């Protein structure tokens, strides 16, 4: 008969429970996959809550999905823990971050076994450090209820009729903001500062992020905003309105391809590889259109009817990352003059 108040077993159970209740780090067990992603992927309205349980069930493992803020912060997090990586997979690095990620040497190369699902032209990393999983086109969106004659080319933006009618975002703090700058760099080359000067009167404001900028646009502050070409599809699908339309320029649209990669030195490399391959399957890709509002790379996925409101761009622009980096460094001075 045990006369002690707490038997050794109970004490051990209590200790074990206390350890489990402790910080998040202690919860990661050996069958756990750790993924860093940007916030909208992890959010309740993003694809995370839908696709992660599917993978967990398939593999019989547990996945810890961690939001790091935006894609740049995902890369920052990986760089910071380079010596002893905790993450296995990074989700959300786009074409602009590929070079930085490779240079920082935080990813390992992996060719997924089902890579045939990726159309040629979307494989944005020939070294296979990043596997693409979705893509979108940056495009100006205009409000057809406020604007009778939208601009037809980039140069039209400089016309006096569009004075203070354009909302942009800071390319240093926002992906669409960077996308607009990329459009200028791709079409104007090194002469983009002169072009920026010509459209300056048309800019109403430069918001810190898409949240604020797009919010002001839908509030009617200005009839033009830089966003994704799929934004009108959202409004058709959920708001039952087709007043917001995408502006496809003859010069072309800049493509944003987002990818995922396996962290160099990942502790669960096999699970990570399985996850990369899972990301290309229709089970994962099928959730993307209505949560990410981006095009899935897997062409077998049927797009919702609302996506047909914006046609695919005739011309796709790509920009040299080094040139874009130079432009971003120059931009504060250009935009202030």
Partner 1 sequence: MHASTQGRRDRNPFAGQGARVVRALPWLLVAPLFLVPLGAALAAGRATAASGPGFLAILASPSILASLRFSLLEALASTLLALALGLPGAWLLARFTFPGRRLYAALGGIPFVFPPVLFTLGFVRAWGRNGLINAGLMHLFGLQAAPLDFVYSFSGVVIAHALLDFPLVVGLVGTVWSRVPRTPEEAARCLGAGEGRIFATITLPSILPGVAAAASLVFLYCFMSFAIPLALGGGPACATLEVSIYAAVSGQQDFARAGSIAMIEGVCAVGVLALYSLLNARSAAASSAAPQERLPLAAQRPGTRRAAALWLAATAALALSPLGALVLSSFTQVGRWGGAPSWSLAAYQKTFSDPASLRAMADSALLAVAVALLAVTIAVLLLLGEGRDGKTGLRGIFFALPIALSSVMLSLGYLVLFPLGAGVGALALVQATAAYPLAWRTLSAARSRIPAGLDQAATLLGASRPRILATIDLPLLRQALGSSLALCGAISLGEVNAALMLNPTDFPLLGLRAYRLMGSYQYPLACAMGVLVCLIAGLAFSAADGLAEPAS
Shortest Å distance, C-beta 127 to partner 1 = 19
Shortest Å distance, C-beta 23 to partner 1 = 6
Shortest Å distance, C-beta 222 to partner 1 = 8
> Which CB atom, from 83 or from 111, has the smaller least distance to partner 1?
83
Dist CA 180 CA 197 (whole Å): 14
Dist CA 204 CA 206 (whole Å): 7
| Cα angle 206-207-210, degrees, rounded to a multiple of 5 | 125
Q: In sequence order, what are the residues at sequence separation of 6 or more whose Cβ sits closer than 8 angstroms to the Cβ of residue 126?
A: none
CB 268 within 8 A of CB 34: yes
> Which CB atom, from 27 or from 31, has the smaller least distance to partner 1?
27
CB 238 within 8 A of CB 293: no
The overall longest dimension of the chain from CA atoms, in Å, is 93
Token pair 């996506």 in the structure block, residue: 307
* Tokens linked to 220: 């009617």
Shortest Å distance, C-beta 29 to partner 1 = 12
Dist CA 241 CA 71 (whole Å): 31
Shortest Å distance, C-beta 286 to partner 1 = 18
Shortest Å distance, C-beta 312 to partner 1 = 22
Q: Please, which residues bridge with residue 90 across strands? A: 36, 261
> Which CB atom, from 208 or from 282, has the smaller least distance to partner 1?
208
* Tokens linked to 76: 């920052």
> Which CB atom, from 111 or from 148, has the smaller least distance to partner 1?
148
> Which CB atom, from 192 or from 252, has the smaller least distance to partner 1?
192
Dist CA 255 CA 178 (whole Å): 12
* Tokens linked to 152: 């037809």
Shortest Å distance, C-beta 144 to partner 1 = 12
> Which CB atom, from 110 or from 228, has the smaller least distance to partner 1?
228
Q: In sequence order, what are the residues at sequence separation of 6 or more whose Cβ sits closer than 8 angstroms to the Cβ of residue 261?
A: 89, 90, 93, 101, 107, 108, 110, 129, 130, 131, 276
Please report the beta strands in 126-263, taking only residues with DSSP state E, as ranges in sequence order: 130-143, 166-169, 203-207, 224-228, 244-247, 253-263
Cα dist. 119→115, 226, 253 in Å? 9, 27, 18
> Which CB atom, from 30 or from 333, has the smaller least distance to partner 1?
333
50-89: buried (b, 16+ CB within 10 Å) or exposed (e) per residue? bbbeebeeebebebbbebbebbbebbbbbeeeeeebbbbb
Shortest Å distance, C-beta 242 to partner 1 = 12
Shortest Å distance, C-beta 313 to partner 1 = 22
> Which CB atom, from 1 or from 25, has the smaller least distance to partner 1?
25
> Which CB atom, from 64 or from 183, has the smaller least distance to partner 1?
64
């Amino acid at each position: 008969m045990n006369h002690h108040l707490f038997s050794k077993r109970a004490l051990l159970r209590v200790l074990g429970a206390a350890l489990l209740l402790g910080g998040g780090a202690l919860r990661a067990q050996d069958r756990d996959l750790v993924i860093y992603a940007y916030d909208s992927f992890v959010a309740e309205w993003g694809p995370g809550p839908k696709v992660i349980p599917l993978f967990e069930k398939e593999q019989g493992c547990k996945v810890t999905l961690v939001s790091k803020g935006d894609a740049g912060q995902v890369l920052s997090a990986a760089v910071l823990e380079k010596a002893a990586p905790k993450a296995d997979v990074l989700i959300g690095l786009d074409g602009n971050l590929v070079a930085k990620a490779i240079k920082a040497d935080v990813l390992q190369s992996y060719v997924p076994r089902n890579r045939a699902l990726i159309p040629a032209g979307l494989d944005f990393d020939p070294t296979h450090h990043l596997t693409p999983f979705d893509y979108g086109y940056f495009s100006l969106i205009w409000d057809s209820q406020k604007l009778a004659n939208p601009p037809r080319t980039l140069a039209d933006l400089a016309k006096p009729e569009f004075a203070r009618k354009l909302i942009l975002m800071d390319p240093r703090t926002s992906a669409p903001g960077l996308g607009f700058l990329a459009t200028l760099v791709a079409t104007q080359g090194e002469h983009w500062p002169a072009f920026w000067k010509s459209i300056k009167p048309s800019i109403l404001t430069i918001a810190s992020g898409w949240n604020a900028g797009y919010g002001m646009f839908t509030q009617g502050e200005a009839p033009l905003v830089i966003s994704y070409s799929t934004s009108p599809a959202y409004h058709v699908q959920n708001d039952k309105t087709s007043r917001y339309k995408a502006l496809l320029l003859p010069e072309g649209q800049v493509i944003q391809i987002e990818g995922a990669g396996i962290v160099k030195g990942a502790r669960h490399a096999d699970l990570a590889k399985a996850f990369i391959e899972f990301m290309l399957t229709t089970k994962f890709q099928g959730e993307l259109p209505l949560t990410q509002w981006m095009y899935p790379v897997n062409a077998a996925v049927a797009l919702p009817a609302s996506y047909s409101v914006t046609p695919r761009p005739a011309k796709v622009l790509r920009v040299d990352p080094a040139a874009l980096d130079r432009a971003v460094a120059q931009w504060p001075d250009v935009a202030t003059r």
